[in-house]
Amino acid sequence: MEGGSKTDGRDVLLLIFVHGFKGGNKTFGRFHANLYSQIKAQNKDKKVVVKKYPKFSTVGALGDAVANFRNWLQAWVNKHGADCPRLDIILAGHSMGGLVIVDAVLSMHDEGDPLLNNVRGILAFDSPYVGLNRYSFFYGLDSLVRNLHIRATLKGWVRRARRISRGVLLCSAALVLIAAVLMNDTTGESGAISSSLSTLSRLLGEKLNPRIACNYITALISSLIKYCLLKFKSNLWIILAIGLILAAVAICIFRSIILETIRSHYAFIECLFWGDRLHKRCSRLTRLQSMPSARLGAVNFYTKVPTTTLPEGRNTFCELPASCFSEDADMDAQDEDTYTMVWRPVSIRDAQMTIAAHVGMFKPETNYEYFVMLSRATEYVSSWIATREDLEYV
């Protein structure tokens, strides 16, 4: 795939891929490379550049991810696209990545960013613009509840374990505080312990970065273990007791860190549970595409599992516009009342669950329509960049 800053005086087509929730550099498999080959074969006079947006943390507000993406895109254009006669940009996103790129386009329009005039199209892959399929969502919850019901026979043991753990944690907290007071010299292992405790106490008073906090907690526990081995190496029982106490302390601290991480991740996807906000995003995109001077295409390839596995209406990862349930569902589906985005189905025949279809859509071995999807994506991109007048609509 072509890259670099030199355009050789040629027009540039930039394709950018953005992963979704908990995704990464391997989300798209070889799809981006295959799409590059197909488009390059049809546009030999252009310099085609494919970039994967670097892996980002899907935590915090979605707006922060959008702002970071826009800054990254602008920096790339300033560095590599300033000297090219014409720059066309195609934004592709999987899952929540599709929402990131649409919000980026809408924010460009709101702020009058001239870069929007270079964006030719949006390629979305199973992006929940209308929301998550509520049937699949609750089916997953039902499976979870049934699994929990099986484990309910252990409820008595769990209650006993809770009582014991409370006592252990109280003792652990007291012993750690005592250790912090007693081990106050600045040399040897006890000095390392004091330093770790001091740093950890500062971290606990702030909003924790889970990765940094885990590193400090690990260092603290390691130092305590080494100290105990030196001081109590002749008494195995003392070492064992202290080890259990340290384990209980670690569980207590990591529990709060895990809960904070979950809350941060939820903040990233909470927009999926607000139907009015989802509708507003789609409506704003429709208005933007409907402007007389607009030259912006948009398509969403959504996955389906066979109706023999899940009934119609429950066999997709995404909630769908009403028009997708029409008799001719294989045709370009558009919601005349709300959306101008095209919705195209991709059938994942061997998938048993919608989430499996969702994460496997870029694998030819699981998605038998992979090359059909690739061909259609190529057709859309080619049509979006085929004729482009130098019109501004920001």
Q: Measure CA 50 to chain center.
A: 20
3-state secondary structure at position 254: helix
Q: Distance between CA atoms of 300 and 174, rounded to whole angstroms?
A: 56
CB of 87 closer than 8 Å to CB of 49: no
Q: Distance between CA atoms of 86 and 325, rounded to whole angstroms?
A: 40
User: Does the pTM of the predicted model rise above 0.75?
Assistant: no
pLDDT per position in the chain (394 positions), as tens? 655 545 566 789 999 999 988 788 889 999 999 999 999 998 888 899 999 999 887 777 888 899 999 999 999 999 887 778 889 999 999 999 999 999 999 999 999 999 999 999 999 999 999 988 877 655 554 444 444 444 444 455 555 555 555 554 445 444 444 444 444 444 444 444 445 445 444 544 444 455 555 555 555 655 665 665 566 555 556 656 666 666 666 666 556 655 565 666 667 777 887 888 888 999 999 999 888 777 899 999 999 988 776 777 778 888 888 666 554 444 444 444 446 789 999 998 887 788 888 889 999 998 999 999 999 999 999 999 886 554 444 4
- The token pair that represents 52 in the structure block: 């994967």
Token match 């994460």: residue?
Answer: 359
Which structural domains are found in the chain, ordered by start? Answer: 12-134+274-386 (3.40.50.1820), 139-270 (no CATH)
Q: Distance between CA atoms of 332 and 390, rounded to whole angstroms?
A: 27
Exposure letters 294-326 (e unless 16+ CB within 10 A, then b): ebbbbbbbbbbbeeebbeeebbbbbbbbebbee
Taking each helix axis from N to C end, the angle separating 370-386 and 31-42, rounded to the nearest 10 degrees, works out to 40
Q: Which residues contact 185 (CB under 8 A, 6 or more apart)?
A: 191, 194
CB of 33 closer than 8 Å to CB of 1: yes
